[in-house]
Structure formats: structure tokens, C-alpha cells
């Protein structure tokens, strides 16, 4: 039975899906601690075997100036002459970012998100006691948009108020993509040491999650300081699986979305432990048999075997595939293992999951033990951009086929927006019962300021320069202004199919990290955060392509 459901009044995990992970959304709304799974595979484990990252805060030899000289384009671009309309649209998006930040600063600075209707802050229980998620997520966007005063405000908060000595249960995945990703990106953009030191210190706190029989990390980590953990909490430094995850399993999109950030932690510290931990997942996944070549979403961190045969390019799976192709690109196309894993996975997805509706819309279905579920989540709409990015680096025949597929999927996701009354897309849309690209369940009608559709618009624009992608992006800007902008910020809405929607009172941190950044870049020249130099993590934090082997330079 599908009853009307409010969007979650909490920070929303990137990979949450409308099926079983609905329980995660409900759990994250709870004020209490995350449920620990005791016994069997879900048992919490102490951090005794975690390799210490001893030298991460010692004086480092990473040559920042040499790194900056290696970039092929100025970070903020060369800004040649451009048409006035494009500039005006970009400046409008910049104004939206300033509005979102100013209200967060006024009403919620130091909290994780702004509640714009009630004009207060929200903390939630996803980040283990860490604060300022919106600050960390916004830093690189403020910098790229040249909002200098606002960037300095954010930097000052990090310097004076960002406390890592916290004790609470955190999502390994969310802390990595938002906090570590945001801090690393801002360090690479600015060279300011505070961002590097905070990233390395926080990265150290995540290492105990990998202390499992397979090296596949568990999803939840207590961030208490491991060297004094027993002084104030019996759970510090321990990790466990999500209470709702099947049989104490780890989630593909969580343990598969660490590679980019952890390689850079090793790059900056000279300590290989981070890269070694993140690389374990590829070793385990290459050993286990894949049903039809597909990667299910749940894997046991104890046995290294699949727990369920549910496959999704949306929630629970999404960014695993994204990080395969991006790992190859970030390595300056040297990580051939990641490239092969991506190519093989995409081939299986094409063969088994890509479908065309009666109305001619291409979509990627979900797979449950061989039975297809004909729906796409908003989260799956990143895949158009990913497939286009991978196609750019393929042979001629494959390139054309994948560019066509990327354009078709992106068009389908655009249709999910165009067919709603607000011109914003629902959390999930279906291709059954005569409906196409529309939510058929009341519980899937909400929009929480998600970025995945405009993310694909950006990649398709950069790789084709078809003006429709800029036009589609501007339609999203117009819809956000009309339906999501409120007196004190931006809010998600509960139903995209009514022109008088109810707001959910949450300005998600990823709205500043991703949605507004991708929209802004859509109206920039291609050399602003050029794809030649940068790879975006799954929270849109730019990490540099390794043109020069700085890791070798550190170790020599």
C-alpha cells in the first residue's frame, strides 16, 4: 500500500532508493543512534587491526606549486568573449548560490543543513557528530563562482569551528563523499593547508571500517578517536553494517565509492594505506562470480559473496559504476583494471537492463534475480553523463553507440521533468501500466533538490555542445526559482505534479555542492574545471587528474 509520504526531514543519502532503502530513509529520520547489528556477519568489530596512518599529519612533501603548473587550463577558465545571455544566466545561478549560502550562514551556520521555512538548522545522525556539512559541501562551489567573501566566511568556520574530535555513528560513504571530497577539492583549488590537514585527519578516522575478513568496509563507523576510544565510549573505532542491509552486508555504492578520495589521501600524505584499503574492493569483486556479468547491490564483508541478486544503476549501485570510469580517467588512463571492469559492467547493463518503452523512451531497468522492474530512480539519471564520459574515450563504433545511449537516457530523464506540472522530476518514475517517465506511486512524487539530471546535462553539453542541454538546464533554474525558492533559502517539494506544492523545509547540502555547481558550469566555457584536468567525485567535488606521478615524487 502506497500512502502519501513526506520527503525525509533529514539529509538524504546519495544512494537511497524507494524500495528496501526506504527503511534507511525512515531510520535516518529517527533521532536515536543507528541500529547496530549484533551476531553473525553484522557484528561490530574493534579497530585493532587497522593499519595506522602514522605520518598523515607530519610535514609533507607534496609539491602543490608543481601540481598547479601541471594543470592544462586555469581553474576558473580564461573567460574569452561570450554572449550576454549565457553570462546573464550564469550570474543568475551565482545569485542563487549566494542566496542559499547567505541564508544558511544567517540561520544555520555550523549545523549540517538549513531548514528554510522554520529558519533554523538541522543536524541529523548521518555524519557521526560532525557538523557543517553545508559549509564543506559549499566551499569549492563558492570558490569556482568567485564568491570571495562567502568563501572566506566558510574557510574561517573550518579553521575556527570544524571539530573532528567527535564520537558518533557515521555513514562511511557520506562522510567520504561530502567531507573528505569537499576538503580535498578545496585544497587542490586553493593550496590552503587547513583543508589538507583536516581531510587527512578525518580519513584516518575512517580506516577501522575496513577491518573485516575481506577488507570490504562496513557501512557505519564510530568516529571516536581510536587512540583513546575506551576512555569515553565502548564503541569508538568500531564498525558495523546498516541495520536494514540484508544479512549484515555491505552496499556496492558505498564500498565502491571510496577509490577517488582515498587515492588522493595517499597522494597527499605519502602513506599508501588509504590507496591499499580502497583498492581491496576491486580485488574482491574480480574474484566473485557476477550473475549475467552484473554486480548485485549487497555483498558480505565476511565471505566476499553476494547476499542478494538485486541490481540497480540507481540507488545502492549508482556511484560504483561512476567511480570505475572515473578511476581510469583520474589515473590519466593508466588504471586498466578499472577500465575493464567498467567496460564489462556496461556491456552487461546494455544487454540485460537497457530497455525501450512503447513510447520510444530508453531507460535502465532494475534487476531482481532475473526479473526486471521497469522503473528508474532520479539517482539513476547520472548515468547519461557517465556513459557519455566513457564513450568519449572509446573506439569509433563503441563511441557512437554509447553517445547515442547517453543522449537517449538523458532525454528520458528530461521527460520525467517535462511531464510534471512543476517541471521538476520525481524521486522515481516508471514504465508500466501505460505510464511512461512519471511517478505512479504517491511515495515517489517528491523532489529534494537532487542534481543527477543536470549533472548529465553538463556532461552532454561539454561533449556535444548541443544547445538543447543548456536550454534544459535553464528550464530547471526557472522551476527551482518558481517552486523551491522560499523566503530564507531553497526547499525540496513533496509533489512535483501540483503547481502549488508543499515544501519539505530542507535545503540539502548537495544542492550547494552539486545542483548549483553543475548548473553554473553548464553556462561556463569548457575550460572552467576542464574535464582534461579534473574528475568530479559523486558529490561534484573536483579532484585532479594525475598528469604527473606526484605519488612517486613523494616517495622518492
- CA-to-CA distance for 222 and 215, rounded, in angstroms? 17
Residue 184 near residue 261, CB atoms below 8 Å: yes
Residue with the bigger pLDDT between 263 and 78: it is 263
Record the pTM: 0.90
119 inside domain: yes
Whether 523 shows a pLDDT value over 90: the answer reads yes
> What percent of the chain is modeled with pLDDT above 90?
79
Q: Is 538 annotated as a binding residue?
A: yes
Q: Is 367 exposed, middle or buried (0-12, 13-18, 19+ CB in 10 A)?
A: buried
All three cell numbers of 443, joined, read: 511515495
15 inside domain: no
φ/ψ (deg, to 5) at 319 = -75, -10
Question: What is the set of active-site residues?
Answer: 174, 318, 427, 452
- CA-to-CA distance for 553 and 549, rounded, in angstroms? 7
Whether 482 shows a pLDDT value over 80: the answer reads yes
All three cell numbers of 91, joined, read: 550570474
Residue with the bigger pLDDT between 415 and 19: it is 415
Taking the CA atoms of 491, 492, 494 and 500 in sequence, report the sign of the dihedral they define: positive
pLDDT score of 237 = 60
Whether 370 shows a pLDDT value over 60: the answer reads yes
All three cell numbers of 332, joined, read: 590519466
98 inside domain: yes
Whether 5 shows a pLDDT value over 60: the answer reads no
29 inside domain: no
Mean confidence (pLDDT) of the chain: 88
Residues 464-477 have a mean pLDDT of: 98
Whether 336 shows a pLDDT value over 80: the answer reads yes
Q: What is the pLDDT of residues 339-362, one digit of tens each?
A: 999 999 999 999 999 999 999 999
- Identify the three-state secondary structure at position 501: coil
pLDDT score of 195 = 98
Residues 432-443 have a mean pLDDT of: 92
Whether 263 shows a pLDDT value over 70: the answer reads yes
230 inside domain: yes
31 inside domain: no
Residue with the bigger pLDDT between 218 and 228: it is 218
Whether 2 shows a pLDDT value over 70: the answer reads no
203 inside domain: yes
Residue with the bigger pLDDT between 452 and 553: it is 452
CB neighbours of residue 15 within 10 Å: 28
556 inside domain: no
What is the CATH classification number for the domain harbouring 329?
1.50.10.10
Number of domains into which the chain is organized: 1
Q: What is the DSSP pairing of strand 375-377 with strand 306-308?
A: unpaired
Band of pLDDT at residue 243, cut at 50, 70 and 90: confident
Q: What is the DSSP pairing of strand 120-122 with strand 113-115?
A: antiparallel
Nearest to 283 by CA among 216, 210, 347: 216
Q: Structural domain of residue 356, as residue ranges? A: 64-544
pLDDT score of 23 = 31
**If you write DSSP's letter for every residue of 243-257 in order, what string do you get?**
TTSGGG-EEHHHHTS
Band of pLDDT at residue 13, cut at 50, 70 and 90: low
Nearest to 272 by CA among 442, 55, 527, 76: 55
Amino acid at each position: 500500500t502506497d500512502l502519501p509520504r513526506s520527503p525525509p526531514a533529514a539529509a538524504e543519502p546519495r544512494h537511497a532508493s524507494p524500495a528496501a532503502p526506504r527503511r534507511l530513509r525512515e531510520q535516518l529520520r529517527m533521532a536515536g543512534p543507528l541500529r547496530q547489528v549484533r551476531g553473525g556477519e553484522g557484528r561490530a568489530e574493534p579497530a585493532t587491526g587497522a593499519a595506522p596512518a602514522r605520518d598523515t599529519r607530519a610535514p609533507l612533501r607534496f609539491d602543490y606549486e608543481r601540481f598547479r603548473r601541471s594543470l592544462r587550463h586555469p581553474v576558473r577558465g580564461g573567460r574569452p568573449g561570450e554572449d550576454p545571455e549565457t553570462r546573464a544566466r550564469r550570474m543568475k545561478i551565482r545569485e542563487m548560490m549566494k542566496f542559499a549560502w547567505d541564508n544558511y550562514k544567517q540561520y544555520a551556520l555550523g549545523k549540517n543543513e538549513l531548514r528554510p521555512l522554520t529558519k533554523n538548522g538541522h543536524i541529523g545522525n548521518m555524519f557521526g557528530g560532525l557538523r557543517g556539512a553545508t559549509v564543506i559541501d559549499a566551499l569549492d562551489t563558492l570558490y569556482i563562482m568567485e564568491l570571495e567573501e562567502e568563501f572566506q566566511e566558510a574557510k574561517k568556520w573550518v579553521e575556527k569551528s570544524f571539530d573532528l574530535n567527535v564520537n558518533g555513528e557515521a555513514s562511511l560513504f557520506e562522510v567520504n563523499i561530502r567531507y573528505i571530497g569537499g576538503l580535498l577539492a578545496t585544497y587542490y583549488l586553493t593550496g590552503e593547508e587547513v583543508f589538507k590537514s583536516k581531510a587527512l585527519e578525518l580519513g584516518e578516522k575512517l580506516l577501522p571500517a575496513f577491518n573485516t575478513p575481506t577488507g570490504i568496509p562496513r557501512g557505519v563507523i564510530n568516529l571516536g578517536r581510536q587512540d583513546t576510544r575506551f576512555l569515553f565510549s565502548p564503541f569508538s573505532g568500531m564498525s558495523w553494517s546498516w541495520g536494514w542491509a540484508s544479512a549484515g552486508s555491505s552496499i556496492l555504492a558505498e564500498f565502491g565509492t571510496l577509490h577517488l578520495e582515498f587515492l588522493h589521501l595517499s597522494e597527499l600524505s605519502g602513506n599508501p594505506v588509504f590507496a591499499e584499503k580502497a583498492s581491496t574492493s576491486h580485488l574482491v569483486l574480480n574474484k566473485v562470480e557476477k550473475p549475467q556479468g552484473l554486480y548485485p547491490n549487497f555483498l558480505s564483508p565476511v565471505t566476499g559473496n553476494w547476499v542478494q541478486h538485486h541490481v540497480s544503476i540507481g540507488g545502492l549501485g549508482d556511484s560504483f559504476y561512476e567511480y570505475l570510469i572515473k578511476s581510469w580517467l583520474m589515473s590519466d588512463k593508466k588504471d586498466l583494471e578499472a577500465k575493464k571492469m567498467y567496460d564489462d559492467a556496461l556491456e552487461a547493463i546494455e544487454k540485460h537492463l537497457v530497455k525501450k518503452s512503447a513510447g520510444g523512451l530508453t531507460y535502465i531497468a532494475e534487476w531482481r534475480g532475473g526479473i526486471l522492474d521497469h522503473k528508474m530512480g532520479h539517482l539513476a539519471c547520472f548515468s547519461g553523463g557517465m556513459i557519455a564520459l566513457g564513450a568519449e574515450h572509446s573506439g569509433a563504433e563503441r563511441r557512437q553507440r554509447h553517445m547515442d545511449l547517453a543522449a537517449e537516457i538523458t532525454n528520458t530523464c528530461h521527460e520525467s521533468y517535462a511531464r510534471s506540472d512543476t517541471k521538476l522530476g520525481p524521486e522515481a518514475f516508471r514504465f508500466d501500466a501505460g505510464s511512461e517517465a512519471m511517478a505512479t506511486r504517491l511515495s515517489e512524487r517528491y523532489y529534494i533538490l537532487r542534481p543527477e539530471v543536470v549533472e548529465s546535462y553538463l556532461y552532454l553539453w561539454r561533449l556535444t555542445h548541443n544547445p538543447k542541454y543548456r536550454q534544459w538546464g535553464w528550464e530547471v533554474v526557472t522551476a527551482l526559482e518558481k517552486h523551491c525558492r522560499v523566503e530564507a533559502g531553497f526547499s525540496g517539494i513533496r509533489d512535483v505534479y501540483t503547481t502549488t506544492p508543499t515544501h519539505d523545509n530542507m535545503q540539502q547540502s548537495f544542492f550547494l555542492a552539486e545542483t548549483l555547481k553543475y548548473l553554473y558550469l553548464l553556462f561556463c566555457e569548457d575550460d572552467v574545471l576542464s574535464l582534461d584536468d579534473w574528475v568530479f567525485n559523486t558529490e561534484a567535488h573536483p579532484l585532479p587528474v594525475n598528469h604527473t606521478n606526484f605519488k612517486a615524487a613523494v616517495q622518492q
